[in-house]
Structure formats: C-alpha cells, structure tokens
Amino acid sequence: MFRPTPSKVRTCARNTVKSLAKRTSINVVACPQRNFTSLNNTFKRNSTPHTQSNQVRCYADAKEVTVKVPDLGDSISEGYVQSYLFEVGQSFKEDDVVVQLETDKATADVRAPASGTLTAQLAKIKDAVSVGAELFKFTPGDAPAATEAAPKDIKKEEPKKEEPKKEVKKEEPKKEEPKKEAPKSTPAPTSSKSTPATSGSSRGETRSPMSRMRLKIGSRLKEAQNTYAMLTTFNEIDMSGITNLREKYKDAFQEKHGVKLGFMSAFVAASAQALKEFPSVNAVIDGEDIVHRDYVDISVAVATPSGLVVPVLRDCDQKSYADIEKNIGELGEKARKGGITMEDMKGGTFTISNGGVFGSLFGTPIINPPQSAILGMHGTFKRPVVINDQIVIRPMMYVALTYDHRIIDGREGVLFLKRIKSLVEDPAQLLLA
C-alpha cells in the first residue's frame, strides 16, 4: 500500500481541495492533519460512492489511544478480564462493549470512547486488573479495514470452491463400490444401541473454576454467619386480601401506571412502613457504635444465571405503591438482560428474598451484610385455617425474619414481622399510610 511522507500528504490534500469542484468523483477517505478534518467531512458529504480503485487515500501515523479500567463502584478495586468482544485488527463503533470485566458483584462492561480499530490487548483473559490499569489500545477513526476485508475474504474463498470440484471428479469412480457394500451397513443399529449403554454408565467428574461473583457471595454469607448473632422468627400471612385487591384492580392499575400489580410491591411497601416504626431493624452495628438510618433502601434479591444479585430500591418510604411497582419492574428487566450495574447494588438497609417464585415452602434466610435483618418470602399455598371458629381454605404464605440479635431484641423482631403481616393482609392500610 502506498504511504507518502507527511509533506507529500499535505501537498496531496491541497491539490485535492483545488480540484474538488472539477473532480467530485474522488473520495478522500482519511486526512491526517487536524486542519483538514473539516475538509475531509466535506468530501464525504459531497462525494458519491466509488469502487476501491477510485479512492484517493492519505495516511499518516495515527495516535493510539489507551483505555484503562474505569471505576468499578463502591469498595471494588479490581476485576478480572472475562472476555474481549473484539480481536486485534477489528473495528468497532463508539460505545461498543470491547471488554467485559468480572467483579465480586457483577459483570462490568468497558465501552469504546470512540470509533476505531483495536491494536493491542494489554491484559489476558482471567487476568486481575485494578482500577486505572491499562486494558487495550486502539487507533481512533472510521477505519477502512471493514470495507477492505470483504474482497480479501472473497479471494480466499475462490480457491476453496475449485478444490471440491477436483475431489468430486476423483470420487466418481469410488461411488460404485459403496453401492455394493450398502447391505453391510445394516449392523449399524446394533452398534447404536451399545453407545447409550456406555454413555449412561459414565462416572466421570468435571471440575470448573468458581466465578468471582460466586466466590464473593460465599465469602460474604459465611462472614455473616461468623459475625452476626442471627435469630429467625416465623409467621404466616393470609394472602386473600392482596389477592382479591389484585384481581379487582389489576387492569385499571396497569392501564393507569403501565405496569402490572404484583405481590412483591406490597411486601416492599409494608416493610418500608414497618422499618419507620421499628428503627432498630433499619440500623446496623459499626464497630462499637450503632448507626441509625433516616432513609429506607430495600434490597431485592434476584437470581440470575451468573449468581444472586441484590439491586436496591431507593427511598422506599417516600414512594407510592405504583412507583415501587415500576422500580421493581425496571430492575427485573435489567436483571434478565444482565444489565445490573454496581450502582444498582450499592447500599441497602434491609433485604427481601422471595423464594416463593421457585416453590419454596419454608426457609431461613441469611442476613446480607452490612444490614441487620432480612425478610424471607415463600410460596403461597391453599391450606385449611381457623377464622372466626370456622375452618376455611385460604391462600397462605409462610414468612421468616432473620435478624441480628446483637442490635434487635426478640420483642422488636416479632412485632416487626407481625406489622408486615397486618399490612399485607389488609392492603388498604398501605394506601392510607
């Protein structure tokens, strides 16, 4: 490829400017000097599409841009290179995801600050990289490599088409022999029966490394067991009140607010109200001090293919029932698409875990540090219960509250859970609150 000197490049650009009015069929693809950037854009607007041979290309030494590891969020200082989505020499557009980093909480995407061509991968897969470390280099600009790659691929494919033609001619005389051997292929069914028998009796083992998120989850849960004086109290909730409310107003609610009326929002709203009435459940121990929070940020545990993530609903005590439902829907959609960010999981004063979506009947949740309590929801099942001395069938749910007994007394823990039970069974109280 022709690469003129910088002086010839400037001369080339000046001559092109002078002849622009007469030679509009010439397309200047790249101009290396800053003074000619606007001229380059003018050429692209005024020119028409051309073939490769009609293009005039001016090249210069373009400066490489080095992209570093961005800020990964609160208390996260490093991540691990999970994958490169572009190989060296491939072009990408601005805001394309180039590298995916795995952290202790989620997967972070590193995007391209501008369009360009990847020139170097400065970290290997599974390498630990700290915030500010160099990740990759690229040459900015709309690289013509993508347009040039097409004819190269076509040329490589042409000889491949000729080879099978020659092989077909050689195989023509051999086609007569398999016709005679066709009846010999009948024993194949017997061999196919033996293969599943051997595969079914396999007793092999497969070892795979744990993800950084899974390792961190295990470490934090074990740390909670070793640090907190965890105690769990249980209760049961008659879900007929919220079920009837949902059946009666779900269409009107969706038409007005654009989201479906679910059960989780009722528990979030009830928990927010109970946390304001029992501030010790919303507090946390820090060293030898007790930190009381004047705000209510509720973490909602969500299971994803890569592990458990806990996005946070901010200021739940200040939001309406509809606002809470909207936020839950937004976070659920982001979780399904793998778009939960570090900022979404930062903070939290109380956690709700809903094992009922998987059919759980009963369980004891583990506190999510640095919080002091967690509410565990379970499945709703019809059971016979006694109401007004009558045995009736009602949809019932067991709920569990695990709390840190160092800061929350048994009386407060039991009354806190009873308050949630009362609010959910009579959802009109949530609207009045």
Matching fold, domains 65-140 and 213-432: no
The verdict on whether 404 is a catalytic residue reads no
What integer pLDDT is reported at residue 331 of this predicted model?
86
358-364 mean pLDDT:
91
Q: Which residues contact 356 (CB under 8 A, 6 or more apart)?
A: 377, 378, 379, 380, 397
Q: Of 16, 91, 29, whose CA–CA distance to 59 is shortest?
A: 29
| Closest by CA position to 87, among listed 142, 51, 125 | 125
Mean pLDDT, residues 288-306? 87
Q: How many CA atoms lie within 13 A of 425 on its CB side?
A: 16
Task: Please say whether the dihedral angle defined by the alpha carbons of residues 184, 187, 191 and 192, taken in this order, is positive or negative.
Answer: positive
The predicted model gives 302-322 an average pLDDT of 83
One-letter identity of residue 227? T
For the chain, the structural domain boundaries read 6-56, 65-140, 213-432
Q: What is the phi/psi pair of residue 391, to 5°?
A: -90, 120
Torsion of CA 311, 315, 318, 324, to 10 degrees: -10
Higher-pLDDT residue of 191, 271: 271
Catalytic: 409? yes
Q: Higher confidence at residue 431 or residue 61?
A: 431
Phi/psi at 29 (nearest 5 deg)? -80, -40
| 115 vs 273: CA distance, rounded Å | 49
Cα 375 to Cα 356: distance, rounded to the nearest angstrom: 12
Nearest alpha carbon to residue 375 among 407, 422, 335, 421 = 421
Residue 413 is inside which H or E element, if any? helix 410-425
Higher pLDDT, 29 or 270: 270
Q: Give the dihedral of Cα atoms 421, 427, 432, 433; nearest 10 deg.
A: 40
Write the Ramachandran bin of 381: left for phi over 0, alpha for psi from -120 to 50, otherwise beta: beta
Residue 256 has pLDDT above 70, yes or no: yes
Does CATH number 3.90.1300.10 belong to domain 213-432? no
How much of the chain exceeds pLDDT 90, in percent? 38
Measured at the CA of 133, the angle between CA 88 and CA 348, to 5 degrees, comes to 115
CATH topology of domain 65-140: OB fold (Dihydrolipoamide Acetyltransferase, E2P) (2.40.50)
Q: What is the pLDDT of residue 200?
A: 61
pLDDT range class, residue 306, cuts 50, 70, 90: low
Query: What was the pLDDT predicted at 166?
Result: 45
Q: What secondary structure does DSSP assign to 164-181, as a single string?
A: HHHHHHHHTGGGHHHHHH
The amino acid at 100: Q
Query: Kindly report the CA angle at 70 between 69 and 73, in degrees rounded to 5?
Result: 125
pLDDT-derived band at 98, boundaries 50, 70, 90? very high
Of 8-17, 165-174, 206-215, where does mean pLDDT reach its minimum? Answer: 165-174
Q: Determine the Cα–Cα distance for residues 11 and 312; give it in Å rounded to an integer.
A: 60
| Residue 333: Cβ within 10 Å count | 10
- Cα-to-chain-centroid distance, residue 229: 33
* 109 close to 83: Cβ distance less than 8 angstroms: no
Whole-angstrom CA distances from 330 to 250, 258, 432 are: 18, 12, 25
- With beta carbons less than 8 A apart as the criterion, state whether 414 and 402 touch: no
Chain-wide mean pLDDT for the chain?
77
Which residues on neighbouring strands pair with residue 290, listed in sequence order? 285
Residue type (1 letter), 218 = G
The pLDDT assigned to 276 comes to 95
**Mean pLDDT highest for which of 162-166, 183-187, 221-225, 417-421?**
417-421
DSSP at 80: E
Type of residue found at 131: V
Most confident listed range (55-64, 320-329, 390-399): 390-399
pLDDT bin (cut points 50, 70, 90) of residue 341 is confident
29, 144 contact by CB (below 8 A): yes
The residue that leads in pLDDT, 259 or 410, is 410
Q: Which of 96, 323, 405, 426 is catalytic?
A: 405
Given the residues 74, 95, 251, 409, select the one marked as catalytic: 409
